[in-house]
Amino acid sequence: MAAPPSDATEIARRALPLLDLTNLADICTSSHIDALCRDARAGGVAAVCVWPQYVGEAARALKGTPVRVATVVNFPAGGEDVERAVEDAAEAIADGAQEIDLVLPYRALMRGDAATASGLAEAVRDVCRKTCLKVILETGVLGDPERIGQASRLAIAAGADFLKTSTGRSAVSATPEAAEAMLGAIREFGAGRRIGLKVSGGLRSVADAAAYLALADRVMGPDWAQPATFRLGASSLYGELTAALARVP
């Protein structure tokens, strides 16, 4: 059952400023980035997330606005080439990226090689000293909450500013169970630091946004979910949120 209009409107008002408006489509052009940035300015979202080759274009389009520019590194495979990941992050920052969404080498972690996973994250952290680092855990592949908790603790120890659920390319993307395990790690191991959560992959409806906002409220407290600590990464959610706001009399 859909939420009553008044509830949907309130959820949309909360969720829209938390949105990382995303275009990581295999077929993406400059015209798509122009449209994405127009929507970002109009909607007052937190950030846009684009392919590295479009960072400069997005940064120019959003100059003078509070909308931040994010891009992806080591995406989507989560490989283990430290030098390549560091070079890609440094180039993106030079082009104007304010946030780096880094895929953790999650397969290394799954085979018991935590050192490789943490080493790559730490190396990228070194070039992101003044840049927000979101570490993508690919929770749908990691599977069980214990392994997700392990990956969360590793990313926090490596210096992540945000934990992010998914690339959106795996068979299973974000789930409330994964998000709760990540929030638990943030609450337990993030003392003294501001560490956020980005829920990404499979969010399509106002009800999806409501579920994750309710989860954040329950685990972290009702005032925790702000753009500095909580993001919703989606390409299709924007239209649903703006439609809900458009229904306000």
List the catalytic residue out of 88, 101, 161, 208: 101
**Beta strand extents in 114-174 (DSSP E only):** 132-136, 162-164
Distance between the two ends of the chain, CA-based, in angstroms?
22
Using DSSP's 3-state secondary structure scheme, residue 197 falls into: strand
Helix H segments across 174-247?
176-189, 206-220, 237-246
pLDDT value of position 4 = 45
Query: Between these two residues, 185 and 235, which has the higher pLDDT value?
Result: 185
Position 248 pLDDT exceeds 70? no
Q: Confidence class of residue 5 from pLDDT cuts 50, 70 and 90?
A: very low
Question: For residues 189 and 156, is the Cβ–Cβ distance under 8 A?
Answer: yes
To the nearest whole percent, how much of the chain has pLDDT over 70?
97
Domains of the chain: 70-232 (3.20.20.70)
101 is catalytic: yes
CA distances from 235 to 22, 47, 94, 205, 210 (A): 5, 12, 25, 11, 17
Is 134 tagged catalytic?
A: no
Residue 78 — pLDDT band, cuts 50, 70, 90? Answer: very high
- Catalytic residue at 198? yes
User: Which of the residues 20, 88, 161, 198 is marked catalytic?
Assistant: 198
pLDDT at 1: 32
| pLDDT value at 223 more than 50 | yes
Region 151-165: what's the mean pLDDT?
A: 98
Confidence band, pLDDT 50/70/90 cuts, at residue 2: very low
- pLDDT at position 192: 83
Give the pLDDT band of residue 69 (cuts 50, 70, 90): very high
Prediction pTM value: 0.96
pLDDT one-digit tens code per residue, 94-129: 999 999 999 999 999 999 999 999 999 999 999 999
Average pLDDT over the chain reads 95
Residues listed for the chain: 249
Using one digit for the tens of pLDDT, what is the confidence trace for 18-33? 999 999 999 999 999 9
Look at residue 158 and tell me whether its pLDDT is greater than 90. Answer: yes
Catalytic residue among 88, 134, 161, 164: 164
